[in-house]
Amino acid sequence: MLDKLQRALGLKTNPAIFFTSAGLTFIFVAVSILFTDGVDTAFRSASDAIKSNLGWLYILGVTSFLIFLIWIAASRYGHVRLGGKEARPEYSNVTWFGMLFAAGIGTILMFWGVAEPINHFANPPLSGVNSEVGTLGEGAMTQPEFADSLSGIAVAPGSAAPLSEQAASEAMGFTLYHFGLHTWAIFTLPALAFAYFAYRRGLPFRVSSIFHPLLGDRINGPIGKAIDIAAVIGTIFGVAVSIGLGTLQINSGLNGLFGIEIGAAAQISIIAVVTVIATISVVLGLDKGIKWLSNINIWMAVGLLLFILLAGSTIYLLRGVIETTGIYLSHLIPLSFWNDTLPADEWGWQGGWTVFYWAWTITWAPFVGIFVARISKGRTIRQFVIGVLGAPTAFSIIWFSIFGLSAINIEWDDPGSLVGPVVQEGDTAAALFAFLQHFPATEFLMAMAVLIVVIFFTTSSDSASLVVDMLTSGNTLNPPVRQRVFWALTEGVVAATLIAATGQEALQALEQVITVLGLPFFLIAFLTMYCLVRALRQDVTEDELLPPRRAAKRRLREKEPTSSEPS
């Protein structure tokens, strides 16, 4: 029946995966609208249980992924080329790097570049005072009073006092921990596996292909299809969280520029416009759509970064980039194993920040992983790991150093100007625009920031549509455009419907869902490491494990005639 429906609609996909994924997505949306409170309660309970009982596993696991990637890049397997010995990269390094940000990390940088450092600056994670620093409510203090009260809170010896220099250092360390090597390890691991199995074994770009060393041809059976359906649903809802965050930020920017009211009507309109743009990009294809928008946007983002650097305290920020790099490296190992064990509550600060980040990020892993693998053919495993781990992390260090330290400096000079709206009032989406008000050409900068977020938002939806379609299309690399259009529209409908149904509460409920959906993906990641090593041991020849020059010399020696052979 599904085959007939597929032919009638002119599709070229795996009917079981396509229709089941689409059906379950819309059923979940409908149930969420009809029974919002019940769904929210169920997922909140499950999310809290995961944070309380398995948060330590998330922390250890992501650190394990990072250690594994460093090992495999440094090992002899690092010489293995994705696509065969003669394959070469399809895109230049600059274009490749820009397209990495098309996968959605650009939206995260724009949203959290100011918001996270300021949050941790006011609420130092290791100080144990977070319960003392609430949001602005009825009868709350004014912004200056709030800033004064923060600086006067008593903390344990050796802990950071809010708004202090130590709090600033701690804020930058935690922010880069969240958006540095660990985040990109979550993306790089599945991306490497997808690239290997697609270009080495000729398997489709599906999550089930990773399990080929264990399941063999059974990846095409019910087990493989179940894995792929879960990956599709997780990807859609993972992207929906980012669409929600991006929509809130765009709405906040338009409110500051044109007075457009912040609310569900405006946010749905924003989603509709951006979805139309994303759909056009989908129709244009990877090289004309995502590639073109990515190149434009990365240069716009760099332009904004340079403006903040030059218009702000330039020498202070240049010194800060170097110092923040050291802060990150000094925090990297301790935070990689920190589990928030000592607070009296069950999962403390870390459950609401790090564990949620890792759970949310890992639901993106199939989406970002397949997209990165799709654009990375021809690179060696070592080049791949260094590029996908190193380049975005280096850019993140620079980005958060300049935006984060600028924000902290502004708060020191003008107490309450950023902590007030972002922490007191809890308006995280407005953090970037509150920050830009302290620079010349404010309206131009705000308009530019809104445009950057819109394009990042568009490329995220576009690339997600491409990947979801690949997950559902089996062996077809470039299926009919109408399928990618369907998924682009679906992503917009999911986000818009949830916002229309319950507004902010829908996004908060969705965060709980993401935390729960992240668990199976986390378990898949552990198996990915095993499957990848097993496949490498089965497939790779001794010649491929040698450095290129040694391999060439060895092949040359093998071609030379021996003394017993006739000349």
CATH number at 429 reads 1.20.1740
Dist CA 292 CA 487 (whole Å) = 21
Q: Which two tokens stand for residue 29?
A: 């949306």
| pLDDT at residue number 518 | 83
Closest CA to 360 of 120, 111, 169: 111
- Cβ–Cβ under 8 Å, residues 351 and 55: yes
Dist CA 256 CA 424 (whole Å) = 19
- Cβ–Cβ under 8 Å, residues 212 and 535: yes
Spatial CB neighbours of 99, under 8 Å, sequence gap ≥ 6: 91, 290, 291, 294, 371, 375
Q: Which two tokens stand for residue 401?
A: 């150093």
Within a domain: 386: yes
Q: Which two tokens stand for residue 141?
A: 């203090």
Domain range for 52 is 12-128+165-541
- Cβ–Cβ under 8 Å, residues 273 and 264: no
Dist CA 31 CA 238 (whole Å) = 18
pLDDT under 50: residue ranges of the chain: 129-147, 149-157, 562-564, 567
| pLDDT at residue number 286 | 56
| pLDDT at residue number 549 | 66
Spatial CB neighbours of 111, under 8 Å, sequence gap ≥ 6: 245, 246, 249, 428, 429, 432, 453
DSSP 3-state percent helix, strand, coil across the chain (nearest 5): 80, 0, 20
- Cβ–Cβ under 8 Å, residues 272 and 500: no
Within a domain: 374: yes
Within a domain: 145: no
| pLDDT at residue number 536 | 94
| pLDDT at residue number 142 | 42
| pLDDT at residue number 292 | 72
Within a domain: 566: no
What stretch of H or E contains 60?
A: helix 36-74
Within a domain: 156: no
β-bridge mates for residue 81, sequence order: 380
Within a domain: 240: yes
| pLDDT at residue number 71 | 97
- Cβ–Cβ under 8 Å, residues 368 and 103: yes
Q: Which two tokens stand for residue 278?
A: 């994303």
Count how many Cα atoms sit within 13 Å of the Cα of residue 327 in the half-sphere of its side chain: 24
Please give the torsion angle defined by the CA atoms of residues 383, 386, 388 and 392, in that order, rounded to the nearest 10 degrees: -140
Dist CA 421 CA 196 (whole Å) = 47
Q: End-to-end distance of the chain based on CA atoms, in angstroms? A: 68
Within a domain: 190: yes
CA distances (Å), 87 to each of 83, 91, 158, 370, 377, in order?
A: 5, 12, 54, 19, 7
Give the residue carrying structure tokens 């293995």.
Answer: 80
7 alpha carbon, distance to own chain's centre = 35
| Nearest-5° Cα angle at 175, 371 to 300 | 55
Q: Which two tokens stand for residue 77?
A: 């397997």
Q: Provide the residue count of the chain.
A: 567
Dist CA 390 CA 99 (whole Å) = 15
Amino acid (1-letter code) at residue 517: L
Dist CA 95 CA 139 (whole Å) = 52
Cβ-in-10-Å burial (0-12, 13-18, 19+) of 382 comes to: middle
Sign of CA dihedral 534, 536, 540, 546: negative
Count of domains forming the chain: 1
Tell me 140's DSSP state: P
The CA radius of gyration of the chain, in Å to the nearest whole number, is 24
Within a domain: 221: yes
